[in-house]
Structure 1
């Protein structure tokens, strides 16, 4: 396969742990080509993205100007893609910039608000540009969420615990929010109160989505990404748990998203919607 027939991809946040994994995944793929690499970390500017990721030189230098690099993804007959693993503070503008350039964003950065996602959806729709916002690229997490939807038919009490490394900037995690949204969208009421509860310390019972499903966030070194959905009923507890031991588990989902987003004309939220 020639380079002209491969999907051109720009990685934003290439020096991060997820960014480096994406470089390695793309380098080993046959139909995707890394054409640009962006990061705000000044210590890596000018370095070869492949050498930075540990997979050998790719002749793609790390730059810090996203818009100039996005242009590189528009110089092929195949629609270009931007993969974003950056920071909640900048992801909204990153996605808007990509759409404005006609580059399809695949977003793994969490922290976007519901209002921001809706706004980006309107922008993508007007531009007829595909976009994917994926809180979690793990196939195992998609299966956990589907199992939670099944369990919710039989349990009225549920809480979510999400555990991440202590360098994660946002809480709750996008995956936990997505899971709670999926359960809430079933239209049933959860956790009917049995007593008048009082928190001695604010937040002791976690954050809640729609005053129904508590989400508890833990941030510790040694963790990567983990989630439990715990259902309770008289005499029984049903726990669904997903554990990440290596970030390579996300790469099949990332590559799938890159291949799928070039066929979309609007924004899609959630990996389950492209499987």
Structure 2
């Protein structure tokens, strides 16, 4: 399977999961133009997977269905997504052509957010980013922490296909939290070089994120110490630690 990151808007990625014959699943098409351009180069959409209801992840679906009216559209159970063939939830299996994906419920960024896991790939929308995680627009810190804990249990070789190119900005915050982490320093330098060369920093691997992403390292001594220092006391539990880290990120300016 080829993983194609199609740039959209300022910093979104629409993912095309492409087989050898050019057939592809399209993940979170916030706009249609990048997919139509890829199709002009030979990509053949076979289905659409949606992780959550935000417009920058679903806005291109009507135009794609106008071009390919028989495309199945798989989405979470959420009435805010109206262009849906099949609604799925935690533990469901999605099968389209030769592809099969397990559905994981990962609330936090939104309450109905889901991920698709299969073929060594995780399409996780705006829940887990490289060196970061999504804002809590609807869910709670406890929900987001549980979602990230669940994703952290996947195989380390899993390729993370998230929805935005945020790695360089996330690295600046991560270094403020965990400045002496050599894995983070390597990933930060790598990401900067990739962006300078005009390349996407994604997909990343879960193994990389487990060594460098502070939101997956709440229990790491350096991260725990940084959160304790910021709070002025020990956090009462992991949820408070995560909530404070997310608040810190929300107000962070490099």
TM range (shorter): 0.3 to 0.5
TM-score under structure 1 normalisation?
0.37
Larger RCO: 1 or 2 (CA < 8 Å, sep 6+): 1
Structure possessing the higher radius of gyration over alpha carbons: 1
